């Protein structure tokens, strides 16, 4: 990087002071150069064999593992997330790279479809038509503040974009620039090791919104992956939509992740549920996008028992360092604003938060359903270690609360089999509100798997059809292309008659791995 732009540094949340290393805002020339190089890499990457892409992903994994504890120690200095948590996040990052390598190598993800010619069809013959997914083009990825590895430079957005065969430009999150540099260098070594085009990957730094907008509006960029606030995600979405050529922005943003506490569950295990919910709420100091910020239950003795146990957990809980002063201040202000509303009961940790250590103080808010419905501040995400308990006086109250929910990543139901039968309408409604439904569990902890859905209706994401976690994330960064009447020798291997890759294909409406008769 040249040093034309404004300088900045990372921040150590535990000490309340900037880190020593200086980084520089990407200049207009650097953004232009990265985008141009990515554009030049499109055609070479499009023609790479699947084995080459899989090998590249595995090379990134190997290079990251080769960093050892230097990586997690650097990440801990910039985030205060703890070495054990960050080792687990590093493993998740590496595992998802391997998972994407596996599906690329297997190959069926391209969704190949073949309708063979029907020359004798009346009144008109049918031509030979073959369709598959291909790379979308250069992808801009924005690192997340709360996952410096798994949702950052080599995180799920980057891994899935690479797996689809796209060049990637990452805009590093300014909260962990040194961590981002370490991972970027690992990717660059993998690019060199696999002899890929130099524009396959670039890293840009910046703290100004204008830098992000400049990247998104470069004509070479064909898609955006983002995890962060609704405000920032929407700004990128709007900028991308206003381009001469609009492009998709796959933004994961705010989510309240409601938990519905049905009567049977609370009667059986009120205190145990409160204890487990508190652990989920305060995991990572509440800085998970799936933090359960809302608990809705039927008023009565069981809910009172649950609420008392949850308040006790909060009172005895300890404040902890949040990711940076902006997030800590935002949490404190949002919590205090909600707590000041009429009809809201508030319980916080008996230990005060230390501003110097960027700490967030655990808390619980309690409100009647009518109060919750009247105040938008109670229905929005409070990003940090807190949750709101909503007391419903009737089943109708619970349904009205569910109907008032905005789109959310997750919705959780605690209950018995009888509860589920009695609240079937609630389950049906939550299917319209959330991307993932959880029964008798907790939303934090998103498994990286083939069946995972990490996305939901707006404002949790900008496109509820897709996921940012799991192998289905690859479909965000690919588009279908149809070949009509092409000779077999001119087709991609995935569409050739012999099926040289041995993938699953839909041939004349039937899924098969068999060759097509020539």
Pick from 268, 266, 340, 274: which is nearest to 300 by CA?
A: 266
Hey, how many other C-beta atoms are within 10 angstroms of the C-beta on 121? 9
The answer to whether 311 and 364 are in contact (CB under 8 A) is yes
Helix boundaries (H) for 170-324:
177-193, 209-216, 230-241, 263-282, 301-316
β-strand partners of 126: 118
Supply the Cα-derived Rg of the chain in whole angstroms.
Answer: 25
Q: Which of 25, 30, 181, 252 is catalytic?
A: 252
CA distances from 242 to 142, 216, 223, 249 (A): 19, 11, 14, 12
Question: Helix crossing, 156-163 with 83-106: angle to 10°?
Answer: 10
User: Has 447 been annotated as catalytic?
Assistant: no
Contact 166, 178 (CB under 8 A): no
Residue 84 CB neighbours (<10 A): 10
Catalytic residue among 94, 289, 392, 401: 289
Residue 85, burial from CB neighbour count under 10 angstroms (0-12, 13-18, 19+): middle
Sheet bearing 294-298, strands edge to edge: 345-348, 363-368, 386-392, 294-298, 258-261, 408-414, 434-439
CA–CA gap between residue 203 and residue 161 (Å, rounded): 15
d(CA 478, CA 131): 13
The b-or-e profile of 266-278 (16+ CB within 10 A means b, else e) is beebbeebbebbb
What Cα–Cα distance (Å) separates residue 376 from each residue in 88, 202, 404, 456?
Answer: 36, 41, 10, 20
Give the residue among 286, 346, 279, 351 at the shortest CA–CA distance from 316. Answer: 351
Contact in structure between 309 and 279 (CB atoms under 8 Å) = no
Nearest 5°: the CA angle 96, 461, 182 is: 40
Is 291 known to be catalytic? no
CA distance 497 to 517: 7
Question: Which of 453, 449, 463, 451 minimizes the C-alpha distance to 431?
Answer: 453
- Strand 478-484 and strand 129-135: the pairing is antiparallel
Q: What are the residue numbers of the active site?
A: 252, 289
């Amino acid at each position: 990087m040249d040093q034309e732009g404004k300088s900045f540094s990372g921040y150590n949340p535990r000490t309340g002071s900037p880190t020593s290393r200086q980084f520089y805002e990407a200049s207009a020339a650097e953004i232009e150069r990265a985008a141009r190089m990515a554009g030049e890499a499109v055609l070479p990457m499009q023609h790479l064999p699947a084995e080459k892409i899989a090998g590249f992903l595995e090379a990134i994994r190997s290079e990251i593992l080769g960093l050892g504890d230097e990586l997690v120690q650097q990440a801990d200095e910039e985030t205060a997330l703890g070495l054990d948590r960050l080792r687990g996040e590093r493993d998740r990052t590496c595992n998802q790279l391997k998972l994407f390598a596996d599906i690329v190598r297997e190959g069926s993800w391209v969704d190949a479809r073949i309708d063979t010619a029907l020359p004798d069809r009346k009144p008109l013959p049918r031509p030979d038509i073959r369709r598959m997914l291909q790379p979308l083009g250069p992808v801009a990825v924005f690192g997340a503040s709360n996952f410096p590895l798994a949702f950052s430079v080599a995180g799920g957005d980057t891994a899935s974009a690479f797996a689809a065969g796209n060049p990637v430009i990452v805009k590093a999150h300014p909260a962990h620039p040194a961590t981002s540099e370490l991972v970027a260098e690992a990717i660059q070594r993998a690019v060199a090791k696999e002899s890929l085009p130099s524009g396959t990957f670039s890293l840009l730094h910046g703290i100004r919104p204008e830098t992000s907008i400049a990247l998104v509006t470069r004509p070479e960029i064909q898609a955006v992956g983002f995890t962060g606030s609704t405000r920032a995600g929407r700004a990128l979405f709007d900028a991308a939509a206003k381009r001469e050529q609009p492009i998709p922005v796959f933004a994961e943003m705010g989510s309240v992740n409601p938990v519905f506490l049905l009567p049977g569950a609370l009667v059986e295990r009120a205190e145990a549920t409160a204890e487990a919910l508190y652990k989920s709420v305060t995991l990572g100091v509440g800085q998970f996008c799936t933090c359960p910020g809302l608990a809705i239950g039927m008023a009565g003795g069981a809910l009172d028992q649950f609420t008392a146990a949850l308040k006790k957990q909060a009172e005895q809980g300890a404040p902890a360092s949040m990711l940076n002063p902006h997030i800590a201040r935002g949490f404190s202000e949002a919590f205090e604003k909600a707590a000041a509303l009429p009809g809201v009961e508030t319980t916080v940790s008996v230990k005060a938060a230390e501003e110097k250590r960027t700490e967030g103080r655990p808390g619980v808010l309690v409100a009647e359903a009518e109060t919750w419905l009247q105040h938008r501040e109670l229905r929005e995400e409070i990003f940090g270690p807190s949750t709101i308990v909503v007391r419903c006086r009737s089943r109708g109250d619970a349904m009205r609360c569910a109907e008032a929910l905005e789109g959310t990543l997750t919705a959780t139901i605690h209950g018995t089999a009888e509860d589920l039968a009695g609240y079937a309408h609630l389950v049906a409604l939550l299917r319209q509100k959330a991307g993932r439904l959880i029964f008798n569990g907790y939303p934090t902890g998103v498994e990286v798997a083939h069946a995972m859905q990490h996305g939901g209706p707006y404002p949790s994401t900008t496109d509820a059809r897709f996921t940012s976690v799991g192998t289905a994330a690859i479909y965000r960064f690919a588009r279908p292309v149809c070949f009509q009447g092409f000779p077999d020798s001119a087709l991609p291997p995935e569409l050739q008659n012999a099926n040289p890759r041995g993938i699953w294909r839909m041939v004349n409406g039937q899924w098969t791995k068999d060759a097509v008769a020539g």
